[in-house]
Amino acid sequence: MYFRMAVLILGIFCVGTAELSPSGMLGELSRDLSVTIPTAGLLVTVYALTVVVGGPIVTAVTTRIRRKYLLVLLLLVSVLGNILCALAPTFELLLVGRMVTAVIQGTFMAVCVVTAGNMAAEDKQGSAVAGTQLGVNLATVLGVPFGTLVAQQINWRATFGSVAVLALIACVLILIAIPEDGKATPRTSVRHEVRASTKWQVIGTVLATVLCSGGMFTLITYMVPLLTDVGGFPAAWVPAVLLAYGVGSIVGNFIGGRCANRSVEAAVLWLSWALAAVCVLYWVAAPSAVASAVFLVLFSVSTFALIPGLQVRILSTAADAPTLSLTVNMAAFALGAALGSWAGGQVIALGFGIRSITLAAAAFSALGAVLIAQVVSAARHRNRSKTSRDDEHALRTETQEATGIGAPR
């Protein structure tokens, strides 16, 4: 089980590093391809939009492929995209390579989550899903710095090439380690997946994911200016704080997985409110350098503690056909990221100041928490109603059997 999880984490690490690495080498990209920094930034924006649009489509057309081979196929597409990026002579072709890489991300992540959840015991699904999220954490903490270092010491093409080679290794390991048959690889139809993804419990959770992700990225996008411009934190120490932020994400991921193991509904409800509360308290702490750094780490812990619960809730709500629902939820994270980044920029542009983005992040997170509360309440009401009907039916059956009324003769 542990080796299988490590293989899935490696695959996610490759995909996550491919997604995030351009942000650490925009300078090298802009100089080599003769474009401006904002133009180079489109490599990040277009990637996110491709994930939002392409993920559900790729999932819909691949529902008949067994998950083990689907993981390999998707990762091979990512390899192709990274090779295109490494060889691209122009910015336009580099953008095409990024789109090829991005189009598989939502489906790949979703299939990894489903596979991990199915390989785990029922009371360990939260930890299993959190384990897949560790791949993203490691991409942030290790992948991006490594990609930046390679770009500085060799060139940015070597970064994309390195990711492609590592992804090929992951393909081989998936073929070796991931089971081919059994409950980890059932087949479903497009109609079945769509039906599962249109339940209100799924839709409500996806909308809450957009709002909570919006809150996360309203602050994440501007966390360095919060530290330096508002808190007066020394710029030389920012990398150390960002490393602590990465460690906080791993700690939060572990906490979120354990909480989801116990009760996924309680986890998403209370952790969403905790995220909103941390953002509000961050506004209070922001003018202090030390307190700002501390709350940035607490924000990281609360952010990554919430993510596994949102994923597990989708996995459990759409248990019979979860892949499309999870892919849509991955797209919801990307949409929330775009929404949050835009909202943070608007808050600053309107003259409220960088410090105020903490309150904007809190507002997004609180709206997500309110929606989660409504969805959880509706689920509990439905379960109570079902239990009451089942009890009533059982009592009626026992009465009929005892009196002979209505019993078969």
- For the segment 60-114, what is each residue's pLDDT rounded down to a tens digit? 888 888 888 999 999 999 999 999 999 999 999 999 999 999 999 989 988 888 8
Lowest mean pLDDT among 10-24, 172-186, 260-274, 330-344: 172-186
Q: Which pLDDT score is estimated for 275? A: 94
Mean pLDDT of 255-262: 86
List C-alpha distances in Å: 37 to 76, 98, 238, 278.
Answer: 30, 17, 21, 33
For the segment 150-191, what is each residue's pLDDT rounded down to a tens digit?
888 899 999 999 999 999 999 999 999 888 754 434 455 566
For the segment 341-367, what is each residue's pLDDT rounded down to a tens digit?
888 888 888 889 889 999 999 999 999
How many Cα atoms sit within 13 Å of 263 on the Cβ side? 8
Q: Which pLDDT score is estimated for 291? A: 92
Does the pLDDT at position 399 exceed 70?
Answer: no
Q: Which pLDDT score is estimated for 367? A: 95
Provide, rounded to the nearest whole percent, the portion of the chain with pLDDT above 70: 86
Does the pLDDT at position 400 exceed 70?
Answer: no
Does the pLDDT at position 405 exceed 70?
Answer: no
Burial (CB count <10 Å: 0-12, 13-18, 19+), residue 175:
middle
Mean pLDDT of 325-349: 83
Does the pLDDT at position 195 exceed 80?
Answer: no
* Region of residue 406 (phi > 0: left; psi between -120 and 50: alpha; otherwise: beta): left
List C-alpha distances in Å: 139 to 2, 18, 144, 407.
Answer: 19, 9, 6, 64
Does the pLDDT at position 194 exceed 80?
Answer: no
φ, ψ (nearest 5 deg) of residue 264: -65, -35
Does the pLDDT at position 218 exceed 80?
Answer: yes
Mean pLDDT of 30-56: 83
Does the pLDDT at position 200 exceed 80?
Answer: no
Using a cut of 0.85, tell me whether the model's pTM lies above it.
no
How many Å apart are CA 355 and CA 283, to the nearest integer?
A: 6
* Higher pLDDT, residue 401 or 222: 222
List C-alpha distances in Å: 254 to 17, 168, 315.
Answer: 21, 28, 18
Q: Which pLDDT score is estimated for 187? A: 54
Does the pLDDT at position 407 exceed 70?
Answer: no
How many Å apart are CA 337 and CA 90, to the nearest integer?
A: 27
